[in-house]
Amino acid sequence: VALENVLRPDEPRPSLSRDAALAEAPDSDGAGFRVPSPGA
């Protein structure tokens, strides 16, 4: 049976920068979103 891959090639593309993604965060450490401890 002849099969053909229907998935598109996995090519990285530019997306939102980390700074832009964090710009609206209520709290961040510059690298990620900061939240209180789940266990507190």
Residues that bind another protein (CB under 8 A): 16, 20-21, 23-27, 33, 35-40
Residue placing its CB nearer to another protein in the complex, 9 or 38: 38
| Residue tagged 């997306």 (tokens) | 15
Residue placing its CB nearer to another protein in the complex, 3 or 24: 24
Instruction: Give the separation between CA 40 and CA 17, rounded to whole angstroms.
Output: 31
Residue placing its CB nearer to another protein in the complex, 3 or 13: 13
Could you tell me the smallest distance in angstroms from the CB atom of residue 10 to another protein?
Answer: 15
Query: First CA to last CA across the chain, in angstroms?
Result: 57
- C-beta of residue 17 within 8 angstroms of C-beta of residue 23: no
